[in-house]
Amino acid sequence: MFSKILIANRGEIACRVIKTAQRMGIKTVAVYSDADRDALHVEMADEAVHIGAAPAAESYLVIDKIIAACKQTGAEAVHPGYGFLSEREAFAKALKDNGIVFIGPNPGAIAAMGDKIESKKAAAAANVSTVPGYLGVIEDPAHAVTIADEIGYPVMIKASAGGGGKGMRIAHSSAEVAEGFARAKSEAASSFGDDRVFVEKFIVDPRHIEIQVLGDKHGNVIYLGERECSIQRRNQKVLEEAPSPLLDEATRRKMGEQAVALAKAVNYDSAGTVEFVAGQDKSFYFLEMNTRLQVEHPVTEMITGIDLVEQMIRVAYGEKLALSQNDVKLNGWAVESRVYAEDPTRNFLPSTGRLVTYRPPSEGPDGDATVRNDTGVFEGGEISIYYDPMIAKLVTHAPTREAAIKAQARALDAFAIDGIRHNIPFVAAVMQHPRWISGNLSTGFIAEEFPEGFSLPQPEGEIALRMAAIAISCDHRLNARKRNVSAQMEGWRKVEFERTRIVSLGGERFEGDVTEQGGAVTIAFADRTLTVASDWRPGEPVWRGTLDGVAIAAQVRPILNGVVLGHAGAYANAHVYTPREAELAALMPEKIAADTGKFLLCPMPGLVKALLVTVGQEVKAGEALAMVEAMKMENVLRAEKDVTVAKILAKEGDSLAVDAVIMEFG
């Protein structure tokens, strides 16, 4: 076996590969840019080599620097992770030319399948059903419009070397094709160093289902079941699960055998994924093949018990697969949430900054479920503007889909992050969504269920009652601490607190009488009595305990006269009062937020790529005002109503903080 490997990547996937290598007794080498000098993967590896400036094009994408790091450290092989150089034929060839093993497929397979255009041609030649589209290279917007008109709308414009939603646009008209073509080419060039794009028919109400394949250098290929990745935003996956609630065993076998046939046709010899777009009637079409490890591979690992990184390393070393197709058994259900540094209440725009709090839920058993958290960050670390905004991948595995979803919901409630905006409130809300729970999915789920964007749900019904009980429990614990403050004056009786508590929670009012016995607190509401037990202490960001014996968790942040609570996807300020305090609080005036309607504010930290209007220009609602780039995505900012531009306060090339004023309207 290899004695030392280099991981040509960063973040959570670099940490993930290092863990398996360490378990196998293989020494690891990390590479890092200026921005990642203090990153977790650098600390975890046995050695680390600096390879350049923060932009990926000057560090993680430079083949010569990766090869030099291998020679400097004596690394015999390179695992590329996903993204960056993972699907570059030139990288695999360069490593081979320098006597270094690529832990991935051979260059020929990458050429045939890694390129989205070539992969469709290969699939068509192998009689695999493919989506209607134009597989040639498109030179200009007019050519793209002509092709789209012939195929029929809507169409998908995709980067040939793309992945992760970068360089991808859906267009419903010729005007959208022209704009989407320019944006897709620009993003493709900056993300992959390859600006080629192609156009294909966009299947309405589709599901995204992919088959994990695994091959060796001796002609053996097997499939490890499927993953459903239909919950997507801007064509980027947000939630994944394995298996799919759509498929039956016959369809699974048909898709798996087709994926294996395609892999064998190109002599595929590593872990890879064959992606399909599936109809609600279980029809399916080949979409593309990713010649690398997928972001969502943990859900497959959890239901099969197979470490895909270990298999990749063993296959790259030349070992035969130790498994046959009959050895592959699917056990239970796994659900994965991608935790991103983005603000779901601002159209999911990226958020950067320091992780003041980063405390994921405990990994390991959780009742009949198992919790796994793949991450590349730590408390006190920084989320950079230069790379993908992923913070972690939270995975739960349980005997059934229902149990896995409930375990995921509990784990999200226990995941504390402060200092940046993040999407945990959104994925926690999805876990409670009836359509998600029923498995009635499509790639349009987010657009259809959140057409006006996402706002923090207010608690209702049982969830509101639970949150009221938690708020009273927190208040009771604070009062107990006050009773026991040391050095109180002798001769004075300790302060006694009233039993009755009134909670103002998201517009609702709850009144409960509190009694404590044997460490448990009983709260008697008007029509329900709850027994609450918790070892929560003031200052902790997560409340863990039981309500009537049922284990739950909630986010807790202090505010004046109460706490901000987050639980089961709902968030609210919970003010806790005595009856007299509640009377007085009702008389207090509310502070009205300032009107920012006369300004265009930068919705996320980013770089001003273009200002698209001038002072004095009259702009109609929906027209583009400026373009801001953050985390490899170009975001066009548009007018919300008809306005006249009075002042422009930023210039192209400026790096702006969130809510910085870009322009003022008259």
Angle of helix 141-151 relative to helix 174-192, nearest 10 degrees, comes to 120
- pLDDT > 90 fraction of the chain, expressed in percent and rounded: 73
| CA–CA separation, 600 and 662 (whole Å) | 6
Q: What is the pLDDT of residue 347?
A: 83
Q: What is the pLDDT of residue 235?
A: 83
Return the beta strands (E) in 262-405 as ranges: 271-278, 284-290, 333-340, 342-343, 349-350, 353-354, 357-359, 364-366, 369-375, 382-383, 390-398
Q: Could you tell me which of 187, 150, 149, 153 has the C-alpha nearest to residue 168?
A: 187
pLDDT band, very low/low/confident/very high, at 632 (cuts 50, 70, 90): low
Mean pLDDT along residues 500-517: 92
Residue bearing the bigger pLDDT, 299 or 131: 299
The residues facing 542 across adjacent strands are 555
Residue 571 has pLDDT above 70, yes or no: yes
Instruction: Map tokens 């603000």 to a residue.
Output: 343
Q: Comparing 61-65, 443-447, 480-484, 563-567, which segment has the lowest mean pLDDT?
A: 480-484
pLDDT band, very low/low/confident/very high, at 492 (cuts 50, 70, 90): low
The pTM of the full predicted model, rounded to 2 decimals, is: 0.83
Q: What is the pLDDT of residue 416?
A: 98
| CA–CA separation, 67 and 82 (whole Å) | 18
The residues facing 511 across adjacent strands are 502
Known catalytic membership, residue 623: no
Residue bearing the bigger pLDDT, 604 or 209: 209
Which residue in the list 12, 226, 240, 288 is annotated as catalytic?
A: 288
- Structural domains of the chain sorted by starting position, each given as residue range(s) with its CATH number in brackets: 4-103 (3.40.50.20), 106-131+207-331 (3.30.470.20), 132-201 (3.30.1490.20), 338-448 (3.30.470.20), 461-484+496-585 (3.30.700.30), 599-665 (2.40.50.100)
In this predicted model, what pLDDT tens digit does every residue of 132-158 receive, in sequence order?
788 677 889 999 999 999 888 889 898
Q: How many CB atoms lie within 10 A of CB 179?
A: 16
In this predicted model, what pLDDT tens digit does every residue of 348-385 receive, in sequence order?
878 888 999 999 999 999 999 999 999 999 999 999 88
**3-class DSSP assignment, residue 173:** coil
Structure tokens at 374: 């793949």
| CA–CA separation, 139 and 143 (whole Å) | 7
In this predicted model, what pLDDT tens digit does every residue of 423-477 receive, in sequence order?
999 999 999 999 999 999 999 999 999 998 999 999 999 999 999 999 999 999 9
Q: Could you tell me which of 564, 562, 567, 597 has the C-alpha nearest to residue 581?
A: 562
The mean pLDDT value of the chain amounts to 92
Residue 597 has pLDDT above 80, yes or no: no
In this predicted model, what pLDDT tens digit does every residue of 510-543 receive, in sequence order?
999 999 887 789 999 999 999 999 999 999 999 9
| CA–CA separation, 566 and 572 (whole Å) | 7
pLDDT band, very low/low/confident/very high, at 494 (cuts 50, 70, 90): low
62 and 81 in contact (C-beta within 8 Å)?
A: no
Q: What is the pLDDT of residue 250?
A: 96
In this predicted model, what pLDDT tens digit does every residue of 319-340 receive, in sequence order?
999 999 999 999 999 999 999 9
Strand ordering across the sheet containing 655-656: 633-638, 624-630, 606-611, 655-656
